[in-house]
Amino acid sequence: MAPPNAAEPTVCVVVKAWPLISTTFIAQELVGLEREGLKLWLAAAHHGDKMRHKLHDQLQAPVHYLSGSGMLLRLLKAWRKLNRTPGYARARELLRYDLAHGAKRNRLVAFARAMLLAAEMPEETRVIYAHFLNSGMNVARYAAAMSGLPVAVSAHARDIWVSAEWNKRAKLEQAIWCTTCTIDGWEHLKSLADDPAKIHLIRHGLSFDRFPADAPARSSRDGTDAGDPVRLFSVGRAVEKKGFDVLIDALASLDKGLHWRWVHVGGGPIIGALKDRASGLGIGNHIDWRGVQTQAEVIDLYRSSDLFVLPSREGADGDRDGLPNVLMEAQSQALACLSTRFSAIPELIVDGETGALVDPGDPQALAAALSRLIRAPQERQRLGHAGFARVREHFDSGHGIRAIATLLRGEPT
């Protein structure tokens, strides 16, 4: 990889944590921006996962943590540097406004981290760019006010649908631009923005150089051989919006003569409840709970499985997926996908052509689709190859990364 262009002004990128294996799309974007010649400086609110993907190691930007040892001394130095400046007064007004309109007290922590960011970022910084409209933007917008710098943001999923509308309006008004990756998110944010033109639809896509380029041969498993069951595969955090409880109910209702095995990769807060649900329904011995795995291990599972299943739905708190990267990853390996008509998933998967979709939260419909596809290896192969062709033609990450680089340089789009 060529080094970032030293003549470029520094972009301060704000993230909640680094590294996070569940947000590889952010790492993919940042590595891509460096390949475009941008000079990045990464500020993370706190340390992320101990496990990391190779992609994280490709980032050349220094990582600066806004937490850790010596915080009191760092905060005192930052306050002394900033407290008499007009920018600090502007940031205090933003904080007062937020608290008066219902922001939680943890906004005070965001303000403290913003002080560190404003005081410690490189002098050549020309723009602050936050990932996620909630926690990342909380820090970035206060720091932008303190430093007098412009702030931009990329919104994704939960941060769009769970945050209060007054909060989103205030942040969008301050932002010079905002990107988002789905049509419904784009339309929603445009309806809240002071200037709808500042909201840009930019898909994440995949950097396909991270994945094998060939479509592997698929098995002819059809669920009739107990010794060689059809291999079902899912990747996702154990949270309500992924719909894995619905999948467990659907699997439990399948014909007992149909032989399958489901592999789940991912951690999450309800993993124990999902295991208990599966055991209670008598299918626990048909499931492998793999926990968190490396990207290489996940790719191997994409290539050796028969059907990828992600039954996304809306959580009780309004949380939802945007366009799950794992669906694009599965399709990049010609693995047939079964998912739901929800959020941006139909923007990727054309039902009956490049995959299969059912209504979200419907275990009976999901079971019917599972039963049909488990029995139909040729249909799985057809859908897998069609998905392979479509994702590689229309969802290459390079297009979006170049568009974001253009925005960060302040060039017309």
Q: Which domains does the chain have, with CATH numbers?
A: 10-207+396-408 (3.40.50.2000), 209-394 (3.40.50.2000)
Q: What is the pLDDT of residue 384?
A: 98
Find the helix or strand (DSSP H, E) in which 230 lies.
Answer: strand 230-235
Edge to edge, the sheet with strand 287-291 lists 287-291, 260-265, 230-235, 307-309, 337-340, 356-358
pLDDT of residue 3: 54
Q: Please, which residues have CB within 8 angstroms of residue 251's CB and are 6 or more apart in sequence?
A: 232, 260, 262, 278, 283, 286, 367, 370
Structure tokens at 253: 């209702």
Average pLDDT for consecutive 10-residue bins of the chain (413 residues)?
Answer: 60 96 92 96 94 91 94 96 97 97 92 98 96 96 98 95 94 98 94 97 93 95 98 97 98 97 96 98 98 94 98 93 94 98 94 98 98 98 98 95 96 66
Residue 262 contacts residue 288 (beta carbons within 8 Å): yes
**pLDDT (0 to 100) of residue 198:** 97
Q: How far is CA 127 from CA 10, 65, 124, in A?
A: 7, 18, 9
pLDDT at res. 53: 85
**DSSP for 83-120, written as a single string:** TTSHHHHHHHHHHHHHHHTT--TTHHHHHHHHHHHHHH
Report how far residue 49's alpha carbon sits from residue 295's, in angstroms, rounded to the nearest whole number. 14
- Least Cα distance to 384 among 182, 260, 219 occurs for 219
CA-CA distance, 126 to 409, in Å (whole number)? 9
Torsion of Cα atoms, 249 then 253 then 258 then 261, to 10°: 10
Cis peptide bond N-terminal to 311, omega within 30: no
Containing H/E element for 16? Answer: strand 10-18
Where do we find the tokens 């602050």? 128
CA distance 365 to 222: 19
Q: Is 12 helix (H, G, I), strand (E, B) or coil?
A: strand
CB 93 within 8 A of CB 146: no
Q: Which two tokens stand for residue 371?
A: 């039963």
CB 82 within 8 A of CB 116: no
Q: What's the rounded Cα separation, in Å, for the pair 72 and 49?
A: 25
